[in-house]
Structure 1
Amino acid sequence: MFRPLSLAIGLRYTRAKRRTGFISFISAVSVLGIAVGVIALITTISVMSGFTGEFRDRLLSMVAHATISGAGDAMADWQQAVDVAHRDPRVTGAAPYVELTGLINGRRAEGAVIRGIEPSLEPEVSVVAEKMKAGALADLQPGEFNIVLGRELSQWLAVDVGDRVNVLIPQGSVTPVGFVPRSKAFRVSGIFEVGMQEYDRGMAIVNIADAQRLARLGDDVTGVRLRLDDIFGAWRVARDLADELPGIYAVSDWSRDHANMFRAFKLEKTMMFIIMSLIVGVAAFNLVSSLVMVVTEKQADIAILRTLGVSPGTVMRIFMVQGMLIGVFGVALGVVGGVLLTLNLGHLVHLIEATFGIEVMPSDVYYITGVPTDLDWNEVALIGGIAFLMCLLATLYPAWRASRTDPATALRYE
């Protein structure tokens, strides 16, 4: 016999019909429990990764991958910074910007970030031109004082294309009647919607020259925004570019600017992973119960094997093989089911909506109306490995108990 004795007997016990049907039922429940736990874990983690990726993509559609700004309030010689950025093969786009915080008055008032852009360069660093619901970025001509508002901001201000709004910034002059903030009337020339409240409700876009005149910056800008081929190397690229420029510059990137948000996503995903892993743990406890009953049923067989000279270690390995086969089958079934469910989750949600006439994620409540998924094969392998490890640990006590069987006691009443 070429295979080990423990493997041969363990496989035979697995295929053999048991006298007690309840033991087979418990084994089937253990397999299904492990499979359901793995399916739930893979699907949940994939959905959470999908939502995180969707949020990141929407965020990066408006936020620069990296930003180089002056050490003070303004940055001079931004044209040189753009030229240096374009010479770097890792940079796919660069554009200057002016950023102000102010109050916009329409029929109502709302605070917002006013961003001054160069319309011809902005498509290199953001997708706002593609998200225009009315008008176009090309309408932002210098000196015309046009403004583009987010959809929610325009609705709150109760203004539409062609209406006028007054923009006030917390800069001005002291007069005999007190401090007078600087203000300017703008005409609404467009409306955009990117699907994030932070921008749809809190941002307005003007031409960079108009923003410079409003803030009295001259030819200076706030900084230069960069788009890169690798978003995870953003800070390193921005630092390298800043080192090539004369003077002192501040460097930031998207991951640092929104670090708390992504830490929260990571913590939530980790905690959900731990919680969902408890389902697999419960199934592993069922596996312990199943194997304990199998050991009880096989007391006579164990005693005979021991009298034939089989060592306690071999007996232990026999039942470990049996338990691990149940675990492997359950994990494999769960991995296949989890992958299939994740890949078809969107279709399943649409089917449920069509069948029951409901909307899982209403568009008037959520910005994301579908269920995004991101299947990471490394995470699938990790989940499968952890589930198998739990099953392996679950076999240790029943197998050890089998190895401690006393042949004389087991055969006394046979």
Structure 2
Amino acid sequence: MVEFFIAKKHIIERKKQSLISILGITIGIVVLMVSIGIANGLDKNMINSILSVTSHIVVSNGEKITKYREIKDVIDKLDGVKGVVPSISTQGILKFNGPYGNYISGVKIEGYDLENAKKAMDLDKKLVYGVISPDKINGILIGKELYKNIGASIGDKITIISAENKEIKFEIMGVFQSGYYDYDMNMVIMPLKAVQYLIYGEDAVDKLDVTLHNPYDAPKVAEKIMSNTGIYSRTWGDLNRNLLSALALEKTVMILVFSLIVVIAGFVVWVTLNMLVREKIKDIGIMRAMGFSKKNIMKIFLIQGMVLGVIGIVIGTIISLLFLWYIGNSNLNFITSIYYIKKIPVEISVKELGIIILTNLVVIFLSSIFPAYRAAKMETVEALRYE
């Protein structure tokens, strides 16, 4: 195709301008892809950390539930349910006399049926020290950050005071790490029977924590639970609505800001082609005199703009994927010492890659078509008149 070879000749002739255009597009692609990949990874890491020791669905009617075993059996049979954990959530005060002196602080108390929690929440996999002994009524699990902060050791005795002013001594039998700092610093996990004694003094719970094989099936399963048990259910999305909305808003603003770089890259292509059209007025006139149609002239400049765009997009995509791979597989101590993560998580889907590439192609096409149209509408006599 003769138009392609002419466009190629223009690109090679104007190496400096072509390289600037390609560089602008490449930078736009890299910044957008890398920022989205890191943002996705951090968002997913936060959600996974929150869900690590909490449920995907909370079944509760706001009152104590005495027939929780029957309800658990009904929910266990539903498709997609991994496990059901009868539980009680409350607040209390933790007292500990350790090597750093007396420690007194408010804590969130989670009373779990530990046997079910091991199956449903993989609680034993989150243990970093000690063991889980479901039959040990006076055993307690504390978060890793709290464990380090108070200078405790496995087997030490700590005191829990409930809101009802009941005071019981517990033995630290294990230390968990959820990956979410607030939980690891301010939460303790106790056997359900111990919390029942602290709160109700009878065999009852205030909720059932349901975990699923796929957390994103929560709305669908919650409807089934409500229709089968008649008890109101809230999904993890409902419980963390404000956080999820904030994350979505933050990501949207970030994409809009970094998308300006793509627009600027398109503007660079537009300027490059406009300058070329001005310099090639004589050549355009000669080509028109030789029989080139307006469509042929337009194709030359449009192809040139798209070739520059495609080269920049390909290079930018390769650099972005390599950069994301490097970040995802490297320990960056200066970051991980600030955030509660071991590595910077990255995640970007094929769909997101496709949208970014398609958007850039559209921007490049729009940036190329106007200079191309300007060159095409130029009449033979008008072009040659400049000679």
Instruction: Give yes or no for TM over 0.5.
Output: yes
Find out whether 1:152 has 2:151 as its counterpart.
Answer: no
What residue number does 1:178 align with? none
* Structure 2 residue identity aligned to 1:53: K
Indicate the SS of the match to 1:137: coil
Matches within 5 A, 1:361-376: 361-363=335-337, 365-376=338-349
Give the equivalent residue in structure 1 for 2:72.
82
Q: 1:230 aligns with which of 214, 221, 230?
A: 214
1:404 CA displacement: 3.5
2:282–2:384 Cα contact (<8 Å) kept: yes
Q: State whether structure 2 residue 97 is matched by structure 1 residue 123.
A: no
* Alignment match of 1:93 (pick from 83, 93, 98): 83
Q: Given the alignment of the two structures, is residue 304 of structure 1 paired with residue 277 of structure 2, yes or no?
A: no
2:179 aligned with 1:205, yes or no? no
For residue 133 of structure 1, the aligned residue among 116, 128, 132 is 128
Structure 2 distance, partners of 1:95, 1:313, is 70
Match of 2:54 among 49, 52, 63: 63
Name 1:268's counterpart in structure 2. Answer: 250
SS of residue in 2 equivalent to 1:95: strand
Structure 2 residue aligned with 1:42, among 33, 37, 62? 33
Supply the distance in 2 between the matched residues of 1:186 and 1:256 (Cα, whole angstroms). 34
The code of the aligned residue for 1:63 comes to: T
Runs of 4+ residues deviating >6 angstroms:
none
1:72 and 1:346 map into 2 onto residues whose CA distance is 43
| Superposition deviation, residue 133 in structure 1 | 2.8
CA-atom RMSD, angstroms? 2.2
Shift of the alpha carbon at 1:238? Answer: 2.3
**AA at the equivalent of 2:5:** R
What's 1:251 paired with?
233
The answer to whether the 8 A contact 1:212-1:218 is kept is yes
After TM superposition, the score normalised by the length of structure 1 is: 0.86
Cα-to-partner distance string for 1:72-112 (whole Å, 9 max, x where unaligned):
33112111111112212311111111111111122211111
Deviations 1:159-204 (A, max 9, x none): 3333332222222xxxxxxxxx333232322222222112111111
Give the unaligned 5+ runs of structure 2: 97-101
Q: Does 1:193 align with 2:177?
A: yes
Note if 1:169 corresponds to 2:162: yes
Is the CA contact 2:158–2:169 (under 8 Å) kept in the aligned structure 1? yes
Shift of 1:213: 0.7
Q: Give SS of 2:52's match.
A: helix
Unaligned runs of 5+ in 1: 1-7, 172-180, 354-358
Q: CA deviation at 1:249?
A: 1.6
Distance 1:73 1:117 in 2: 17
Aligned length: 382
Distance 1:265 1:216 in 2: 38
Answer yes or no: is 1:388 the counterpart of 2:361. yes
In 1, the alpha carbon distance for the partners of 2:50 and 2:120 equals 12
Q: For the residues of structure 2 that align with 1:76 and 1:239, how far apart are their CA atoms? A: 22
Counterparts of 2:103 and 2:114, CA distance in 1: 28
In 2, Cα distance between equivalents of 1:318 and 1:17: 9
Contact 1:66 1:227 in 2 (8 A): yes
Cα distance in 2 for partners of 1:211, 1:369 equals 33
Deviation readout 1:306-362 (Å, 9 max, x if unpaired): 345544444333321221121122212222322232233334x45xx6xxxxx3324
Task: Report percent identity of matched pairs.
Answer: 26
Q: Is the 8 A contact 1:134 1:192 kept in 2?
A: yes
Tell me the residue number matched to 1:356. Answer: none
> Are 1:11 and 2:8 an aligned pair?
no
The answer as to whether partners of 2:8 and 2:304 remain within 8 angstroms in 1 is no
- CA deviation vs aligned residue, 1:372-406 (integer Å, no higher than 9, x gap): 11121100000001111110111132112212324
